[in-house]
Structure 1
Amino acid sequence: MADATHQDAAPHVAVETDVAIIGAGPTGLFAVFECGMLRMKCVVIDTLEAIGGQCAALYPEKPIYDIPAHPAISGGALIEQLQEQAAPFAPIYLLGRRVEALAPHEGGFELRTSKGEAVRARAVIIAAGAGAFGPNRPPLNDLHSYEATGAVRYMVARREELRGKRVVIAGGGDSAVDWALSLKGIAKRVTVVHRRPKFRAAPESVAQMEAAAARGEIDLAIPYQLHGLRGAGGALSEVVLATLKGEERAVAADHLLAFFGLSMELGPIAQWGLGLERSHVTVNPATLETNIPGIHAIGDIATYPGKLKLILQGFSEAAMAAHAIHPRIFPGEALHFEYSTSKGVPAE
């Protein structure tokens, strides 16, 4: 994945911009493009050291199947193309820091980062996914020693690292099922562990996995749960499984991939006076504006009736938010909407 331009601002020096975007995931990057098409400059702030959010940090090689015009595209490739799409508008990326405070400032807002910068913007778009995230870890003895060697993982950066390995995948959602399908032709053996026959993944993906299991390409360990790890010096040799009745089974393994979802927290966002509902930010679905005028939320962090947590819906929300913000940046100026096919994109 190409590196984004990472600009460090001097502490206590204000960075002026039209729109401050909190979060450099897919929806945040597309918001740069949509704002740029309306002549609005953006500063993008993210806690991670690289752009891409969960797509880059958790599943850069995992295929995504519901991006229009892409029957399948990896998370990493999607981020690269979104970065390229945003590049003509020269966004400033402030990476590896989080927004610690947000306050009104001269008709707009001032955001303070964990590295001491002040970003002054006329409007704010919160595209922070579901806030800061980390994996939900299984309660297993000696887990840390296996995490340290990479024997236990919560993401896959490169599938090739698992070629010829014995892989146990635990979980019942899309990540577990999709990685089982992705690794079945690469790993020596793939065993999927789930506590019940019903999976929470996309029905078509589950059907493909069950068909692969019927052909002997994937082993299904159902109904089992993780019970223990065996090995020495951080090298894994077996994953011990158990039923609810206490029946145990050991599966030979070099790696355990645990996909039990992410532990989310809003962090400082929860202290900004925004309307919240179950750790999500409530917005007007027509404008994506929060209860504070000038602050909008898009993507997974935003909630409203009928909300779907899909990247493609986040893209639509980015466009709607940009158009809603335009009058704040250019008051009194009529916005004559033009299609990109006729308007084109400015050259770098």
Structure 2
Amino acid sequence: MTRPIETDVAIIGAGPVGLFAVFELGMLRLSSVLIDALAEIGGQCTALYPEKPIYDIPAHPAIEAGTLITRLEQQIAPFAIPRLLGRQVNGLSGQSGAFLLTTDQDDAVRAKAVIIAAGAGAFGPNRPPLQGLPAFEASGAVRYYVRQREDLRGRRVVIAGGGDSAVDWALALKDIAQVAVVHRRPKFRAAPETAARLDEAAQRGEIELVIPYQLHALHGTDGLLSAVEVATMEGATRQLPADVLLPFFGLSMDLGPIAAWGLERHMHHVTVDPSTGQTSLPGVFAIGDVSTYPGKLKLILQGFSEAAVAAHAIFPIVHPDQALHFEYSTSKGVPG
């Protein structure tokens, strides 16, 4: 094991919420270390959908996920914190004020507090149960993420799902591809505004809504897709000409070794005190999608707020003999 890195706060997860936690801690002159299992920062925003537009970030009518990560990285640049990327935290010992974290790469981090900003944890797509699926996945005819919109220009794209990802990508691709959206019921689970825009696009003939249907079979040879067969609950079927299928049925969650830390959980999420973000283990906090409490909203916006709340709750752990005299960033600036 290498010599331990000494820091005030260890942050597990380098997605947008983890990155903003670096900033909020830095504004309170608290040091931190970022740890993430991925080889680059950004979490799902970078790994899964860097070109997906996000519409609910204040002051940005629309911003691509990758651009959001770039801006967050610029925001934390003055703090020059260590980053342990491509590493999974596999051990936690000690107590509030004196934790020791270890990784699968034999790193060691001594921290007074821990923030879990692991999003969905180790994530993977929920795959549809379709015969011959692996061959179409291998060829790229079935994809669960879109890293570059241009890859789909001029293609016949079938999108399956009724949540935000399905609706957002349908809107993002309608101007460059032939798009059909398959959903088992008329009502979508997406944000009301984007769902309304989807309906408007369908009325203009820019998108075909295939409702109420669900995926039934894939047609093609040697991994090349020619059509997606869909079926109603009554068994009626139809075939949609297709080059690419994008099934958006959410991500499976796996907290990995964190699940063995004895934290109180509910439905695969870590339960926290909403007034502090602290988990059932004193000194360990959880923010973003991994955390849950009454009234929780799964928004990046709320994760940013939780990062600020946790940072302020951590200050007395790091400096038990100091009073925190909070100043607004407009008058305080960024610490040098």
| Cα contact 1:122–1:294 (8 A) shared by 2 | yes
How many angstroms apart in 2 are the aligned matches of 1:324 and 1:77?
30
Tell me the equivalent position of 1:73. Answer: 63
| 8 Å Cα contact 1:129/1:299 also seen in 2 | yes
- The 10-residue stretch of structure 1 (56-65 or 104-113) with the greater mean CA deviation from structure 2: 104-113
Confirm whether residue 161 of structure 1 aligns to residue 151 of structure 2.
Answer: yes
What CA distance in whole angstroms lies between the structure 2 residues aligned with 1:314 and 1:231?
43
Query: Kindly tell me: are residues 106 and 228 of structure 1, through their superposed partners in 2, closer, same or farther at Cα, counting changes over 3 Å?
Result: closer
- Note if 1:240 corresponds to 2:220: no
The answer to whether the aligner puts 1:114 opposite 2:104 as a matched pair is yes
Question: What is the CA RMSD across the aligned residues, in angstroms?
Answer: 1.3
Structure 2 counterpart of 1:79, which letter? I
The residue correspondences of 1:1-348 to structure 2 (distance < 5 A) are: 11-104=1-94, 107-187=97-177, 189-347=178-336
Rounded Cα–Cα distance in structure 2 between residues aligned with 1:106 and 1:173: 39
Are the equivalent residues in 2 in contact too, given 1:108–1:294 (CA < 8 A)?
no
List runs of 5+ in structure 2 lacking aligned partners.
none
Provide the rounded CA distance (Å) in 1 between the counterparts of 2:253 and 2:280.
Answer: 22
Q: Which moved more, 1:300-309 or 1:169-178?
A: 300-309
The answer for the alignment partner of 1:4 in structure 2 is: none
2: CA distance between counterparts of 1:206 and 1:320? 32
SS of aligned partner of 1:321: helix
SS in 1 for 2:295: coil
1:171-199 CA-to-partner distances (Å, cap 9, x unmatched) read 01111111111100011x10101111111
Q: Secondary structure at the match of 1:152?
A: coil
8 Å Cα contact 1:242-1:249 kept in structure 2: yes
2 CA distance for matches of 1:14 and 1:295? 19
Identity %: 68
Matches of 2:200 and 2:28, distance apart in 1 = 48
Distance in 2 between the 1:338 and 1:164 partners? 53
* Residue type of the alignment partner of 2:164: D
Letter in 2 for 1:227: H
- 1:54-105 per-residue CA deviation (whole Å, 9 max, x = no partner) reads 1112221111111111111111111111111011101111111111111106
Cα offsets for 1:5-48 (capped at 9, x unmatched): xxxxxx43311111100000111000000111111111111111
TM-score (norm 2): 0.97
Matched residue of 1:132: which SS? Answer: coil
C-alpha distance in 2 between matches for 1:72 and 1:321: 27
What whole-Å deviation, never above 9, does each CA across 1:242-294 have from its counterpart, x for those lacking one? 11222221111110001001111221111112111221111111111112221
For each residue in 1:216-250, what CA deviation from the matched residue of structure 2 results, as whole angstroms up to 9, or x when unmatched? 11111111111111112211111111112222211
Q: Secondary structure at 1:212's aligned position in 2?
A: helix
Going from structure 1 to structure 2, the CA distance change for 1:129 and 1:106 (only over 3 Å counts) comes to closer
The amino acid across from 2:199 in the alignment is: E
TM-score by length of 1: 0.94
> What secondary structure is seen at the aligned counterpart in 2 of 1:228?
strand
8 A contact 2:167–2:194 mirrored in 1: yes
Give ranges in structure 1 of 5+ residues lacking alignment. 1-10
CA offset at residue 106 of structure 1?
Answer: 9.0
Q: How many angstroms does 1:137 deviate by?
A: 0.2
CA distance in 1, matches of 2:123, 2:144: 12
